[in-house]
């Protein structure tokens, strides 16, 4: 797989996560326009598409409070396996379970009102387990040995939040890689998660816009609004939309995810969707993906350029977005 999940909260919502708490704000962000704002008793949960035993996770963290409470947890079902909190000097520490036995402690005191890029490499095993913690790209703490505190042999959920005291923080640029695949199988290394919105109608506009007029203008707003929308009444209608370019600072691209917010009717086709990119005049469409009954996010991740090789800034900037209705 490689890329398991990413979110920079750039849709202006935290609904890319599976259970949500807190809000999304523009007042703080590490990149783009938004970050999540998470307060006492609020948690953002991400359920992994499949259980894993090893993972690389990055997230950007900023707090205005001198809290030492647990703010990140890896779990299996309802069992917490490993967590990150702070010691009395506000240095990060990686603990067993939820704030249990300390595996290792960082060296950098986490200051208030500063963004930090935190990365965790976690390999779960009775023997040969690995914990490595990085802050802003620097290795801060390591542990090797038994990282499997109980009977669970894998993990399937990540969550960010807090339960005690004045613990509010902002979260941004969440990236999760596993160790499978040719690419995206190690440290994310400080990636920024950006959103490229539609900004032009492409060479095929077969869906019906409401209101009539330009198609892209129905689907270019953040957060998503159903006041204006595109609709496909039958199968195999292709919509092509131009996209914004990457920010000028972008020098490389590690993955592209094509996102579609939408829903289906209860019985009538189309019930499915293909997502893809038009690159160099060729269309690269996904397999059929089921549409939800209530508005939700359907995504298709491309970790490498479907033309071949890794992504480049120019390839992404030259790509158009494809959505095709399917029975």
β-sheet bridge partners, residue 138: 135
Quick one: which H or E segment has residue 313? helix 313-317
Helix %, strand %, coil % of the chain (to 5): 0, 45, 50
Nearest-approach distance from CB 229 to Ca ion, in angstroms: 5
Q: Can you tell me which of 119, 172, 239, 320 binds Ca ion, judged by CB under 5 A?
A: 172
Token pair, residue 216, equals: 């892209």
The CA angle 232-237-243, to the nearest 5 degrees, is: 90
257 binds Ca ion (CB under 5 A): no
Nearest-approach distance from CB 60 to Ca ion, in angstroms: 8
Q: Which is closer to Ca ion, CB of 9 or CB of 17?
A: 9
Sequence-distant (≥ 6) Cβ neighbours of residue 303 within 8 angstroms: 2, 3, 181, 183, 184, 254, 255
Collapse the DSSP code of 315 into the 3-class scheme (helix H, G, I; strand E, B; otherwise coil) and give the result. helix
Contacting range for Ca ion; rule: CB under 5 A; set: 30-38, 65-73, 296-304, 319-327: 30-38
In the shown chain, the binding pattern of residues 177 to 216 toward Ca ion, with x for contact by CB under 5 A and - for none, equals ----------------------------------------
Nearest-approach distance from CB 217 to Ca ion, in angstroms: 9
Nearest-approach distance from CB 199 to Ca ion, in angstroms: 14
Q: Can you tell me which of 4, 13, 29, 61 binds Ca ion, judged by CB under 5 A?
A: 29
DSSP state for residue 245 in the 8-state scheme: P
Q: Which is closer to Ca ion, CB of 32 or CB of 262?
A: 32
Token pair, residue 217, equals: 């203008």
Residue numbers at the binding site for Ca ion (CB under 5 A): 8-9, 29, 32, 34, 172, 225, 228-229
């Amino acid at each position: 797989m490689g890329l398991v999940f990413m979110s920079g909260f750039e849709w202006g919502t935290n609904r890319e996560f599976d259970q949500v708490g807190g809000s999304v704000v523009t007042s703080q962000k590490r990149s783009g326009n938004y970050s999540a704002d998470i307060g006492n008793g609020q948690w953002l949960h991400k359920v992994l598409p499949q259980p894993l035993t090893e993972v690389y996770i990055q997230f950007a963290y900023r707090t205005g409070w001198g809290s030492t409470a647990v703010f990140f947890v890896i779990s299996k079902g309802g069992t917490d396996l490993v967590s990150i909190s702070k010691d009395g000097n506000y240095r990060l520490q990686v603990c067993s379970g939820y704030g249990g036995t300390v595996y290792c402690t960082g060296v950098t005191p986490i200051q208030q009102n500063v963004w930090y890029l935190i990365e965790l490499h976690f390999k779960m095993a009775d023997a040969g387990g690995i914990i490595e913690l990085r802050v802003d790209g620097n290795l801060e703490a390591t542990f090797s040995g038994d990282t499997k505190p109980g009977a669970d042999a894998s993990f399937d959920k990540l969550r960010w939040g807090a339960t005690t005291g004045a613990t509010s923080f902002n979260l941004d640029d969440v990236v999760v890689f596993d160790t499978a695949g040719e690419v995206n199988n190690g440290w994310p290394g400080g990636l920024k998660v950006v959103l490229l919105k539609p900004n032009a109608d492409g060479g095929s506009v077969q869906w019906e816009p409401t209101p009539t007029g330009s198609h892209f203008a129905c689907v270019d707003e953040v957060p998503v609004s159903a006041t204006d929308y595109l609709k496909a009444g039958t199968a195999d209608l292709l919509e092509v939309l131009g996209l914004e370019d990457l920010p000028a600072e972008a020098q490389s691209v590690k993955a592209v995810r094509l996102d579609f917010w939408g829903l289906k009717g209860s019985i009538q086709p189309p019930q499915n969707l293909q997502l893809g990119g038009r690159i160099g005049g060729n269309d690269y469409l996904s397999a059929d993906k089921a549409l939800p009954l209530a508005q939700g996010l359907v995504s298709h991740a491309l970790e490498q350029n479907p033309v071949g090789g890794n992504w480049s800034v120019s390839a992404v900037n030259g790509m158009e977005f494809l959505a095709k209705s399917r029975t």
